[in-house]
């Protein structure tokens, strides 16, 4: 617990739930947990209501409360090339930073907030959670790199979601002296003890689609490797439920038709949290074939494990994914981009006596390591270290970071 709670934590996120995604869910869970433990917590993000994010999508700035967390959703003028233009970002941040005893926690990749910070000049300690490197977007990567160097150099701490990601990132090696790790956390009780709505959805799925259900959860984007899951389905029995939306949806549906498995795939799109939990409990396993280091952790793995649903993931080099659910301990790990290996792992769960039950039990136990309150308390320890470097023994603040 913090020695004193008379200061403010301001999380700078790209988006925030109900927008779904690993980073968004993590920021909400961490912010709520910190608030529950007594801290004053703010979140600043972009107000995005259109999931398809067309070029011109104007939104307004909205202030609201979320379980004790002050949330400011910045109005957006337009969005282009993964950058959101928010006219009020500087004024809103300046107002927050003018309050005494403020600590910033930036979550990246986050072009909008990253560029905004380069324009602000304040004596404010900064902690960064580096969720992943920019991998595929080469132009964006090199445009942002000078700004990343500036802000990362001025930060007090840089956190990753696993030690494995640090080892695989050439960019992060530049800042080894300020690196540490803070895994993502969840309230695992919501998943291990589903409520009535979730239980009813489990029953509904099994009655409609049968007992043999495979599951994928995540945005339909390139690094999720969902084409691998669709190809693997041609080699195993059962139904594949896909939860999520994204730009590759039509391309993936075309592939399913080409391979003759479109009648064995259920596209659920967006679902509620209760329905998501129900789907985990209905599934034989979560297929998680992400194949690029853009996938640094895979929070849905923890959700699935907490639901006693084993994970089949891929051995992405330099990623924390295979560390979250470990091969032969809580789940099964296969080589990347290998639908045959995915199908073989799935068949092991079906035909190898006792394997699925053993992995399900171990998965549930492993999920407790990622307890949301434990991770919030770990974040406080990092904040304490940062603040102790900012204040001398007389209590006079030292102007170390200029943002």
Residue 194 lies in a domain: yes
* Residues present in the chain in total: 403
Domain shared by 86 and 153, yes or no: yes
Domain span including residue 278 = 189-369
Domain shared by 70 and 218, yes or no: no
196 contacts: CB under 8 Å, gap ≥ 6: none
CA 244, 248, 250, 254 torsion-angle sign: negative
pLDDT of residue 82: 67
Domain shared by 66 and 199, yes or no: no
Domain shared by 353 and 380, yes or no: no
Domain shared by 196 and 73, yes or no: no
Of 141, 203, 205, nearest to 171 by C-alpha is: 141
Structure tokens at 281: 């409990």
Domain shared by 197 and 134, yes or no: no
Domain at 179, CATH number: 3.40.50.2000
Residue 1 lies in a domain: no
Residue 316 lies in a domain: yes
Domain shared by 196 and 106, yes or no: no
**Please, what's the b/e burial string for 278-300 (b: 16 or more CB within 10 A of its CB; e: otherwise)?**
bbbbbbbbbbbbbbbbbbbbbbb
Number of domains in the chain: 2
Give me the helices (H) in 283-354, please: 299-306, 321-324, 339-351
Of 129, 122, 128, 131, nearest to 94 by C-alpha is: 122
Place of tokens 């039950």: 357
Helix (H) or strand (E) holding 66: strand 62-66
pLDDT of residue 277: 98
Question: CA 97 to CA 121: how far, in whole Å?
Answer: 10
Residue 395 lies in a domain: no
Domain shared by 65 and 173, yes or no: yes
Domain shared by 364 and 381, yes or no: no
Residue 89 lies in a domain: yes
Domain shared by 131 and 84, yes or no: yes
Residue 254 lies in a domain: yes
- Per-residue pLDDT tens over the stretch 292-346: 999 999 999 999 999 999 999 999 999 999 999 999 999 999 999 999 999 999 9
Question: CA 259 to CA 382: how far, in whole Å?
Answer: 50
pLDDT of residue 227: 98
pLDDT of residue 402: 30
Residue 167 lies in a domain: yes
The residue ranges of the chain whose pLDDT is under 70 are: 1-6, 49-57, 81-82, 122, 135-141, 390-403
Domain shared by 32 and 143, yes or no: yes
Domain shared by 104 and 209, yes or no: no
pLDDT of residue 122: 67
Residue 43 lies in a domain: yes
């Amino acid at each position: 617990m913090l020695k004193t709670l008379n200061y403010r934590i301001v999380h700078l996120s790209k988006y925030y739930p109900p927008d779904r995604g690993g980073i968004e869910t993590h920021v909400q869970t961490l912010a709520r947990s910190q608030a529950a433990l007594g801290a004053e917590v703010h979140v600043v993000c972009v107000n995005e209501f259109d999931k398809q994010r067309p070029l011109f999508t104007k939104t307004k700035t909205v202030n609201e409360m979320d379980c004790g967390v002050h949330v400011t959703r910045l109005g957006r003028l337009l969005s282009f090339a993964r950058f959101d233009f928010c006219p009020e970002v500087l004024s809103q941040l300046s107002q927050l930073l003018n309050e005494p005893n403020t600590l910033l926690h930036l979550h990246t990749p986050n072009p909008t907030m990253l560029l905004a910070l380069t324009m602000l000049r304040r004596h404010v300690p900064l902690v960064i959670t580096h969720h992943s490197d920019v991998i595929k977007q080469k132009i964006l990567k090199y445009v942002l790199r000078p700004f990343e160097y500036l802000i990362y150099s001025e930060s007090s701490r840089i956190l990753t979601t696993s030690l494995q990601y640090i080892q695989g990132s050439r960019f992060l090696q530049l800042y080894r002296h300020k690196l540490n790790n803070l895994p993502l956390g969840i309230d695992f009780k919501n998943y291990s003890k589903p409520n009535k709505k979730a239980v009813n959805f489990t029953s509904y799925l099994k009655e409609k689609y049968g007992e043999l259900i495979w599951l994928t959860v995540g945005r339909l984007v390139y690094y999720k490797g969902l084409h691998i899951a669709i190809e693997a389905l041609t080699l195993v029995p059962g139904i594949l439920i896909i939860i999520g939306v994204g730009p590759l949806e039509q391309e993936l549906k075309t592939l399913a038709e080409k391979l003759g498995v479109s009648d064995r795939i259920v596209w659920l799109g967006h679902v509620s949290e209760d329905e998501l939990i129900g789907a985990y409990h209905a599934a034989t396993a979560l297929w998680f074939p992400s194949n690029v280091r853009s996938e640094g952790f895979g929070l849905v793995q923890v959700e699935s494990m907490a639901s006693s649903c084993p994970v089949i993931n891929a051995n992405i080099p330099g990623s924390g994914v295979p560390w979250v659910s470990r091969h032969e301990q809580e789940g099964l790990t296969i080589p990347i981009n290998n639908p045959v290996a995915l199908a073989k792992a799935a068949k092991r769960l079906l035909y190898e006596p006792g394997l699925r039950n053993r992995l399900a039990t171990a998965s549930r136990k492993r999920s407790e390591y990622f307890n949301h309150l434990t991770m919030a308390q770990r974040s406080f320890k990092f904040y304490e270290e940062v603040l102790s470097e900012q204040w001398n023994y007389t209590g006079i603040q030292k102007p170390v970071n200029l943002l």
